[in-house]
Chain A
Amino acid sequence: MVKTSEVMEQEPKKLARRDIVKAFWNWFFFAQSCYNYERLQGLGVASYMAPLLNKLYTKKEDVAAGLTRQMAFFNSEPSFGCLIHGVNIAMEEQKANGAPIAGEEINSLKTGLMGPMAGLGDSIIQGIITPILLAIGIGLAQKGSFAGPVLYMILETAAIVGISFAGWMQGYSRGRAGITELLRSGVLRKVLEYAGILGCGVLGALAAQFVSLTTPIAMTSGTTTLKLQDMLDKVLPGLLPLALTLIVFYFIRKGKKANVVLLSIIVVGIVGALIGIF
């Protein structure tokens, strides 16, 4: 490690690209290594910031102040949150160079942005990209093709590393003004809206392929047997699985807990199977 103490006081302390990339990997791996109820990702933030603070400040009390400040409560989606961390680094750098930025100002920027970025990030990464790629992977895997898991692995890795790294570097270079401008322009919202359309379509296909529910109910009159399932199939193929999915969706949307719905499905399944309607 090169000590920065020989650098003259007046010279601006610029972080090297190498340090910023290193901090990125630090976050990429250990953002939630010590995830906890009290401050969630707070320690992860302080952890990537620690080497940077050592480069920015020569006095130990300045480093200590920086570390304590960065230990504050933080929780966002780890990948989209990278935008915030890029800005965070940029602000710490400006502060170290004497810009009039109070410590609280850095933290209030972080807490102000973490909610919106978590909402966007969770929807896009966990709500759209991952399920669409999973749906494709599962579809291929069910046909016995190893392309399913392999393709999923490659595409998901590319998406997550790409989004995280781009966000980190963009956040750093554009700074506070850039990120608020990006959020205000609504580009991300628009991407989310249209990706949601794609996601819904793929989910429909997935439900059709994998949700299955049939009824063995049959009526015998004389020599002919009328099977209810055959009649349903003529009206609308997949009527029962679709109805089931929509009913479950209705309860989930109404805010019922996933585990409650899960147990309800099991109970309905057991009762239905035992009395012979499924």
Chain B
Amino acid sequence: MQISLWQAIAVALLYYICQSPWLGCMLTFCTVYRPLIAGTLVGIILGQPALGMTIGATMNLLYLGFISAGGSLPGDPALAGTLGVALAIASKLTTSQALALAVPVGLLGNLVWYGGMAVNTIFLHQADKYAEAGEGRKVMFMNIVPPQVFLFIICFFPVLLAMRVGPSVIGNIMTNLSGKTLHVFTVIGGMLPALGVAMNLKAIAKGNAFMFFILGFFMVMYLKLDIVAVSIFMGVTTFVLYSLSHSSSSKGGDTNG
């Protein structure tokens, strides 16, 4: 499909919003920054909300265990969720091809993050001077305006450019691909969610909790439950386990029978 200039501008703007604090620092990071949400919004911009949502949801699998710690990030879900989803819709990619596209796009997005981290030091030092002079309002100004102007520049214009030239480039590549190459994309697309899951597991699977991963896996495989159903069963189980351990420890032994 053809992407109009206005749609390209809207997607580029959306990418800036995903990186900005305007919806709340953590809230932006945990909502529009994720491809599930960003992809749906891109779908709305391009007039194909359902398609954008499904592609975004698939891309999000890769970034499920996405944890930023100490200011370092593994890839950029927001660029994959905005530019990646837009290019996938424009070039009529399948969802697993789109997932494979998310990888290079997401890695490229890291540049924005590290660029900001480095350049913001300049504004920090300016703020230091205002702090020593007791100029509170100017300290606040330095925290908000210059970093956001810089962020807007490095987010908006590259994505706008990519939105203008990207669809035809990707389209050309895709039409020249053989069936074998498409099969490779499908295989990789199926494997990549394992990384998202593994990274997430690393953060939370402590001790016996890991066994519940196996339990959840086979609840789907054998019982054919969906994720909402598994969440409900797991939620109830966890609650019961918690209450049991709580009541036995508060009694301090089983003397009052």
Contact = CB atoms under 8 A, between A and B. Distances in A.
A222 to B, nearest CB: 29
Contacts of A63: 134, 136
A135 B203 contact: no
B117 A134 contact: no
A67 B37 CA distance: 38
B137 interface: yes
Contacts of B217: 204-205, 207-208, 238, 242
The secondary-structure label for the interface of chain B is helix
A270 B56 contact: no
B57 A141 contact: yes
Contacts of A33: 21, 25, 143-144, 147-148
A207 B25 contact: no
Nearest to B32: A153
A136 interface: yes
A199 B200 CA distance: 9
B147 A40 contact: no
Nearest to A54: B136
A161 B190 CA distance: 35
Given A44-B143, A67-B134, A126-B66, A269 B191 contact: yes
A237 interface: yes
Contacts of B70: 75, 118
Interface in A36-87: 36-40, 42-44, 46-47, 50-51, 53-54, 60-61, 63-64, 67-68, 70-71, 75, 77-79
A132 B231 contact: yes
Contact of B228 (A140, A146, A156, A195): A140
Contacts of B227: 135-136, 138-139, 202, 205-206, 209
B48 interface: no
Contacts, number: 383
A43 B124 contact: yes
Interface centre among A137, A153, A205 (most CB of B within 10 A): A205
Interface of B: 21-22, 24-27, 30-31, 34, 36-37, 40, 49-50, 53-54, 56-58, 60-61, 64-71, 74-75, 103, 107, 116-121, 123-124, 127-128, 130-134, 136-137, 139-140, 142-144, 146-148, 180, 183-184, 186-188, 190-195, 197-206, 208-222, 225-228, 230-231, 233-235, 237-238, 241-242
Interface of A: 26-40, 42-44, 46-47, 50-51, 53-54, 60-61, 63-64, 67-68, 70-71, 75, 77-79, 118, 122-123, 125-128, 130-132, 134-144, 146, 148-149, 152-153, 156-157, 160-161, 164, 190, 193-213, 237-238, 241-242, 244-245, 248-249, 251-253, 257-259, 261-262, 265-266, 268-270, 272-274, 278
8 contacts: A146-B40, A149-B53, A152-B31, A196-B204, A200-B209, A202-B216, A265-B192, A278-B187
Given A39-B124, A161-B24, A204-B220, 16 more contacts: A33-B25, A36-B124, A43-B123, A47-B144, A134-B34, A139-B226, A142-B58, A153-B31, A193-B206, A194-B241, A198-B231, A198-B235, A199-B204, A203-B213, A244-B191, A262-B103
